[in-house]
């Protein structure tokens, strides 16, 4: 029988600078989403997830094109709110998620 050599994610992150950086970016992305959530219509919030951060660009994952269209209208307001909170975000990219079978 093979034995699994697994370790807790926190320990793995401490031992790997790359993994630690990815975890920090994921946490920051979640914080950004939490910061803009009050600015989103209540019905839209459940259709959006935090996506990757790529330098000054942030990505939001959107469940469908209708939600993306509404979100596009809010982008200037969202960008301003993020920058007021100290994040230097120059653009927000929207990625519509396609359902998988």
- Give dist(CA 94, CA 32) in Å, integer: 14
In a domain, 2, yes or no: no
In a domain, 76, yes or no: yes
Report if residue 13 sits inside a domain.
Answer: yes
User: pLDDT at position 34, please?
Assistant: 97
pTM given for the model: 0.81
What residues form DSSP beta bridges with 28? none
In a domain, 25, yes or no: yes
What CATH number does residue 73 fall under? 3.30.300.180
Tokens of 42: 């209540």
Structure confidence at residue 23 (pLDDT): 86
Strands 57-62 and 48-54: antiparallel
Cross-strand pairs, 60: 50, 94
Give the number of domains in the chain. Answer: 1
Tell whether 39 is covered by a domain: yes
Percentage of the chain lying above the pLDDT 90 cut: 70
Q: What angle do CA 60, 55, 39 make, to 5 degrees?
A: 35
Structural domain boundaries enclosing 34: 9-96
Residue 85 has what DSSP assignment? T
In a domain, 101, yes or no: no
pLDDT tens string for the chain (101 positions)? 455 566 666 666 667 788 888 888 999 999 999 999 999 999 999 999 999 999 999 999 999 999 999 999 999 999 999 999 999 999 999 999 977 65
């Amino acid at each position: 029988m093979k034995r699994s050599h697994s370790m807790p994610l926190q320990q793995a992150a401490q031992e790997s600078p790359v993994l630690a950086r990815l975890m920090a970016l994921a946490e920051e992305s979640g914080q950004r989403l939490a910061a803009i959530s009050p600015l989103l219509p209540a019905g839209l919030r459940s259709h959006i997830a935090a996506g990757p951060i790529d330098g000054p660009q942030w990505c939001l994952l959107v469940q469908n094109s209708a939600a993306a269209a509404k979100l596009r209208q809010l982008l200037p307001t969202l960008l301003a709110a993020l920058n007021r909170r100290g994040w230097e975000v120059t653009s927000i990219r929207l990625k519509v998620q396609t359902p998988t079978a």
